[in-house]
Amino acid sequence: MKLLNAFSLSMIPPEKGIIEVFPLTLGEVKAALQDVAVAAELGGDGIESCIGHADTAEVFGRELGLSLAANRVNILLRHEEDAIVGQYVGPRLPEGATSLPEGAEIRWILVRWISAAVAAREAVAIATSRLPGPDAPRSPGPMDQYQEAVARAGAFAGNQGRK
């Protein structure tokens, strides 16, 4: 799981999709990172610090009880990949800061990228695996709602002069 200090649209592929955003408490972030650390011990992905400044990494690490290194990297989220963003809110961090200045806070947010193309393929696979025989009566279901939403989104984009 990636741990970020900012989020930008350049961190998602240039395709249709959905960005899900979930505010988290500090306790929820710690629990999620603990789960990731345990999974990493079992061979899964670990925590990847993508925090660009040493002072910010130090402050975040103290808040989370972790040792975090600064790591300036380019980020591109994959389908259903989660990243936790710590959004610093407050006065500019003084050089060499190791804790939050008075009146400052970190707002924690889980960000997830969902590719529309991959989600559509997955939805079709699930829907077709549950279909009755070809002659069975059919009532509207989730796929119909999804296709209707995609059509509305396409019509909206077309009205905005976009593809």
Instruction: Please state, in angstroms and rounded to a whole number, the distance separating the CA atoms of residues 94 and 75.
Output: 26
| Residue 163 confidence (pLDDT) | 46
Domain ranges in the chain are 2-115, 118-159
Q: Using one digit for the tens of pLDDT, what is the confidence trace for 87-96? A: 999 988 888 8
Distance CA 152, CA 157 (A): 9
Q: Please name the fold of domain 2-115.
A: Rossmann fold (3.40.50)
Percent of the chain with pLDDT over 70: 81
The residue ranges of the chain whose pLDDT is under 70 are: 44, 130-146, 149, 153-163
DSSP 126: H
pLDDT of residue 145: 66
Nearest-angstrom CA–CA distance, 68 and 156: 43
- The predicted pLDDT at position 157 comes to 54
Q: Where are the beta strands (DSSP E) in 13-161?
A: 17-24, 48-50, 81-89, 105-115
